[in-house]
C-alpha cells in the first residue's frame, strides 16, 4: 500500500542526508512503530508520505501512484486520505473543537448534515463529547491530542500518521492516546507511529522499524524498542 | 461541494476569524482607518486646491481696449477671430456705454471723479473685449496675436488702442508658475502619502496573517484547497476595509462640518463640508471600494506566501 523505493533526502547542499536509500513497504491495516534517536530521519520519512517533503532521490508510492507525480488536486485528495497527528497537536487555535474537526470534513466536501452527525460521533470515540464547544487553549495537552486524533480520523482515512503524538503528554494521557490509535487500527486503518517511548512500543507489540542516521537498521514484525 | 456551500463556509470562517482575532483585527482596522483618512483627505484637499486655482485662474484675463472711433464691425471682426483661436475659452464684449456705467458704479462714492467725468461731456471710454484663456499659460499667445493684429497696417488693427496683457505680464506669469507648481506638488504629495499609507496597511495585514501562518500550514496539511484556506482571510480583509471605511466616513462628517466655515473663509468659495455632503455618494464608493480592495488584495498576497501544496 505504501512503498518507499530507494528514498534519499538531503535538505540542502552540503547537509548530511536526513534519509539514506530507504526501501520499505507497508501493507494495509498494519500498525508500524518507527523508532530511533532524534535526527534519525523518522519525521522526514513520514513527511514524504504526505508530500510536505519531496525525496531528493527515489520514489514514494501510495497505492499504485507515485506521490511526486500527483497533480495539486490529487495531492489534496491524498492528504484527505491520510490523517496526521503531531507532537504539538497543530489545532486551529481560533476554532472550537467542533470547528476543528468539521474543517477536515468540510475540505473533503461533506454536507452540513453529515458533519453535524459525524463530529459528535468521532468525539465520542476519543472521549471528548463534553468539550465540543471549547477552544484548544481551554483544553489540557491530552485533550488537545485527542481532538487532533479525532480530526485525523473523521474522514476515515486509509492511513493515520502519528508523529511523536505522546511526546508532550504524561504517561496516563500517553497510554490513552495509544489505546485510541490501536482501536483505530483495529477498525482497519493503517497506523504509522513514531515515538521515543519504549514502554509504549513494547506494549503495542506490533511491527517496529528502527532508524539510525537516516537508515533503517532493524525491521521486525513483532518488534521491541531497541536502539 | 457546491459553490454556495463553500462560499457560505468561507464567509462564516472569515467573520469568525475577524471577531475571534479581535486585537489583531482592531489593529488592522485602525491602520486602514488612517490610510483611508489620508486618501479621503487627499481627495478633499485636491478638490480644494483645484477650486482655489480655478478661481484664481478666472480672475485673470486679457482685455483689448479699442479706440473711441472703432466701429462695431471692426470689434466684431476681432471678436470672431479671437473666438476662432483654440486657446480662447470666452470673449466678453463691453460696449462704451457699459464701460461708462461700470466706471460710474465703481466711483459712485467719489463725487470729484464723477464731476470731472461730467465736465468732459463726452464718453471718454472705448469699447473693450475681455478674453479668458483655457489655461493661464496661453494668455501670452493670445496677447501676441492681438499685438500682431495691432501692428498690421489694417483698419481693424488700427482700431485697437491697447492690450493690457503686457502691463500684467509679470503677475500672470507668476500666477501661472504658482498654479503649475501647486498642481504638481499636490499630485506628488498625494502620490507619496497615498503609497505610504497603502504600504503600511498592506504590511499590517501581512503581519496579522503572519501570526496565523502555522494555522495555514495545518489547513494545507488537512487537504484544504488554496481558495478554502485563502477565502476566510480575504473575507476578513473585506471586513477590515469595510469597517475602516465606515469609520472614516463617520469621522469626516463632524470634522468637515467643523472645518466648513473656516475653509470657506480661507479658500474663497470652497466649503469642505458642502463638498463632503455634495459628493458623499462618490466618496462613499471610493472609500469603501479602496478599503475593501486594499484589504482583499493585501490578504490575498499575504496568504499566498504561506500556501503550498
pLDDT of B155 higher than 70? no
Q: Taking all residues of chain B, what is their mean pLDDT, rounded to a whole number?
A: 83
Q: How much is the pLDDT for B308?
A: 66
pTM, two decimal places: 0.72
Q: How much is the pLDDT for B106?
A: 85
Tell me if A92 and B218 make a contact (CB, 8 A cut-off): yes
Shortest CB distance from B221 goes to which of A50, A77, A108? A50
Distances (CA, A) of B29 to A107, B17, B183, B245, B298: 29, 14, 32, 9, 13
Judged by a CB distance cut-off of 8 A, whether residue B9 touches chain A is yes
Residues 6+ apart with CB under 8 A from A130: none
Tell me if A79 and B9 make a contact (CB, 8 A cut-off): no
Give pLDDT tens digits for B224-236: 888 888 999 999 9
Cell numbers 478599503: residue? B291
Spatial contact of A8 and A55, defined as CB atoms under 8 Å apart: yes
**Between these two residues, B267 and B41, which has the higher pLDDT value?**
B41
Q: Report residue B161: phi and psi, to 5°.
A: -85, -60
Cell numbers 491602520: residue? B31
In chain A, residues with a C-beta closer than 8 Å to the C-beta of B224 are 76, 103, 107
For A3, the enclosing helix (H) or strand (E) is: strand A2-9
Angstroms from B10 CA to nearest CA on chain A: 10
Angstroms from A220 CA to nearest CA on chain B: 30
Highest mean pLDDT among A44-48, A171-175, B41-45, B158-162: A44-48
Spatial contact of A31 and A204, defined as CB atoms under 8 Å apart: yes
**Residue B65 binned pLDDT confidence (cut-offs 50, 70, 90):** confident
Q: How much is the pLDDT for B166?
A: 63
Question: Distance (Å, rounded) from C-alpha A221 to C-alpha A207?
Answer: 4
Q: Which residue from A209, A182, A95 is spatially nearest to B21, judged by alpha carbons? A: A95
Residue from B223, B224, B235, B236 to probe the interface with A (highest A Cβ count within 10 Å): B223
Q: How much is the pLDDT for B64?
A: 83
pLDDT of B84 higher than 90? no
Which residues of A, range 152-171, sit inside 8 Å of B by Cβ? none
Judged by a CB distance cut-off of 8 A, whether residue B222 touches chain A is yes
Question: Distance (Å, rounded) from C-alpha A107 to C-alpha A75?
Answer: 13
Tell me if A94 and B224 make a contact (CB, 8 A cut-off): no
pLDDT along chain A (227 residues), means of 10: 93 91 94 92 92 92 90 88 89 92 91 93 90 94 91 92 88 88 92 91 92 92 81
Helix and strand numbers (H, E) in chain A are 7, 10
Q: How much is the pLDDT for B14?
A: 92
A54: cell is 519531496
Task: Give the domain B60-166 fold.
Answer: Alpha-Beta Plaits (3.30.70)
Domain limits, CATH 3.30.70.3040, in chain B:
60-166
- Give the β-pairing of B88-94 and B160-163: unpaired
Q: Which residue of chain A comes nearest to B211, CA vs CA? A: A93
In this structure, of A140-149, B123-132, B176-185, the range with the lowest mean pLDDT score is B176-185
Question: Distance (Å, rounded) from C-alpha B4 to C-alpha A111?
Answer: 12
Q: Which residue from B236, B237, B235, B252 is spatially nearest to B287, judged by alpha carbons? A: B252
pLDDT of B175 higher than 80? no
Angstroms from B211 CA to nearest CA on chain A: 11
Q: How much is the pLDDT for A42?
A: 93
pLDDT of B309 higher than 60? no
B230: cell is 485563502
Q: Which residue of chain A comes nearest to B12, CA vs CA? A: A99
Shortest CB distance from A108 goes to which of B16, B220, B223? B223
Judged by a CB distance cut-off of 8 A, whether residue B22 touches chain A is no
Angstroms from B309 CA to nearest CA on chain A: 6
Angstroms from B238 CA to nearest CA on chain A: 19
Tell me if A94 and B16 make a contact (CB, 8 A cut-off): yes
Strand ranges in chain B using DSSP code E only, listed in sequence order? 62-66, 88-94, 128-133, 160-163
Q: How much is the pLDDT for B254?
A: 92
Q: Which residue of chain A comes nearest to B9, CA vs CA? A: A106
Q: How much is the pLDDT for B181?
A: 81
Q: Which residue from A71, A61, A17, A63 is spatially nearest to A41, judged by alpha carbons? A: A17
Judged by a CB distance cut-off of 8 A, whether residue A84 touches chain B is yes
Tell me if B309 and A111 make a contact (CB, 8 A cut-off): no
Q: How much is the pLDDT for B153?
A: 62
Spatial contact of A2 and A26, defined as CB atoms under 8 Å apart: yes
In chain A, residues with a C-beta closer than 8 Å to the C-beta of B230 are none
A115: cell is 458533519
Tell me if B215 and A93 make a contact (CB, 8 A cut-off): yes
Q: Which residue of chain B comes nearest to A160, CA vs CA? A: B222
Highest mean pLDDT among A34-38, B161-165, B301-305: A34-38
Give pLDDT tens digits for B199-213: 888 888 888 888 888
Judged by a CB distance cut-off of 8 A, whether residue B224 touches chain A is yes
pLDDT of B266 higher than 60? yes
In chain B, residues with a C-beta closer than 8 Å to the C-beta of A104 are 222-223
Q: How much is the pLDDT for A87?
A: 85
pLDDT of B168 higher than 70? no
CA torsion through residues A36, A38, A40, A46, sign = positive
* A223 CB neighbour count, 10 Å cutoff: 20
**Residue B52 binned pLDDT confidence (cut-offs 50, 70, 90):** confident
Amino acid at each position: 500500500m505504501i512503498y518507499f523505493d530507494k528514498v534519499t533526502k538531503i535538505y540542502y547542499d552540503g547537509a548530511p542526508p536526513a534519509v539514506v536509500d530507504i526501501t520499505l513497504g507497508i501493507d494495509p491495516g498494519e500498525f508500524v512503530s518507527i523508532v530511533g534517536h532524534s535526527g534519525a530521519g523518522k519525521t522526514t520519512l513520514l513527511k514524504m508520505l504526505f508530500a510536505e517533503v519531496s525525496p531528493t532521490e527515489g520514489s514514494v508510492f501510495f497505492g499504485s501512484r507515485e506521490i511526486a507525480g500527483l497533480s495539486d488536486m490529487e495531492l489534496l485528495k491524498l492528504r484527505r486520505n491520510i490523517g496526521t497527528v503531531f507532537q504539538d497537536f497543530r489545532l486551529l487555535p481560533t476554532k472550537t473543537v467542533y470547528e476543528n474537526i468539521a474543517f477536515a470534513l468540510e475540505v473533503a466536501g461533506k454536507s452540513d448534515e453529515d458533519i453535524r452527525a459525524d463530529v459528535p460521533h468521532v468525539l465520542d470515540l476519543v472521549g471528548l463529547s463534553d468539550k465540543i464547544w471549547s477552544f484548544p487553549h481551554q483544553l489540557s495537552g491530552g485533550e488537545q491530542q485527542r481532538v487532533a486524533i479525532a480530526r485525523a480520523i473523521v474522514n476515515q482515512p486509509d492511513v493515520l500518521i502519528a508523529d511523536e503524538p505522546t511526546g508532550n503528554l504524561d504517561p496516563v494521557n500517553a497510554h490513552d492516546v495509544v489505546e485510541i490509535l490501536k482501536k483505530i487500527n483495529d477498525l482497519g486503518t493503517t497506523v504509522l507511529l513514531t515515538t521515543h517511548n519504549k514502554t509504549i512500543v513494547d506494549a503495542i507489540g506490533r511491527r517496529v522499524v528502527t532508524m539510525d542516521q537516516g537508515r533503517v537498521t532493524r525491521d521486525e514484525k513483532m518488534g521491541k524498542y531497541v536502539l | 461541494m457546491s459553490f454556495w456551500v463553500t462560499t457560505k463556509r468561507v464567509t462564516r470562517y472569515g467573520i469568525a476569524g475577524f471577531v475571534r482575532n479581535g486585537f489583531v483585527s482592531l489593529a488592522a482596522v485602525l491602520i486602514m482607518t488612517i490610510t483611508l483618512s489620508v486618501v479621503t483627505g487627499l481627495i478633499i484637499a485636491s478638490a480644494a486646491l483645484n477650486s482655489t486655482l480655478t478661481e484664481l485662474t478666472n480672475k485673470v484675463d486679457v482685455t483689448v481696449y479699442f479706440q473711441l472711433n472703432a466701429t462695431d464691425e471692426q470689434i466684431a471682426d476681432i471678436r470672431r477671430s479671437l473666438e476662432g483661436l483654440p486657446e480662447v475659452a470666452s470673449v466678453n464684449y463691453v460696449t462704451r456705454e457699459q464701460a461708462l456705467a461700470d466706471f460710474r458704479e465703481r466711483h459712485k462714492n467719489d463725487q470729484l471723479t464723477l464731476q470731472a467725468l461730467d465736465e468732459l461731456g463726452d464718453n471718454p471710454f472705448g469699447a473693450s473685449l475681455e478674453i479668458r484663456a483655457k489655461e493661464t499659460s496661453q494668455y501670452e499667445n493670445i496677447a501676441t496675436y492681438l499685438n500682431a493684429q495691432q501692428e498690421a497696417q489694417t483698419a481693424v488693427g488700427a482700431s485697437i488702442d491697447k492690450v493690457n496683457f503686457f502691463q500684467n505680464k509679470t503677475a500672470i506669469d507668476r500666477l501661472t508658475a504658482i498654479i503649475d507648481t501647486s498642481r504638481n506638488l499636490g499630485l506628488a504629495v498625494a502620490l507619496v502619502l497615498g503609497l505610504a499609507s497603502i504600504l503600511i496597511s498592506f504590511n499590517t495585514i501581512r503581519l496579522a496573517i503572519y501570526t496565523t501562518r502555522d494555522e495555514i500550514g495545518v489547513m494545507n496539511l488537512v487537504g484544504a484547497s488554496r481558495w478554502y484556506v485563502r477565502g476566510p482571510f480575504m473575507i476578513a480583509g473585506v471586513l477590515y476595509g469595510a469597517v475602516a471605511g465606515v469609520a472614516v466616513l463617520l469621522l469626516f462628517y463632524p470634522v468637515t462640518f467643523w472645518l466648513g466655515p473656516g475653509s470657506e473663509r480661507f479658500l474663497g468659495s470652497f466649503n469642505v463640508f458642502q463638498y463632503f455632503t455634495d459628493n458623499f455618494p462618490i466618496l462613499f464608493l471610493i472609500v469603501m471600494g479602496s478599503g475593501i480592495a486594499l484589504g482583499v488584495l493585501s490578504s490575498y498576497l499575504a496568504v499566498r506566501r504561506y500556501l503550498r501544496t
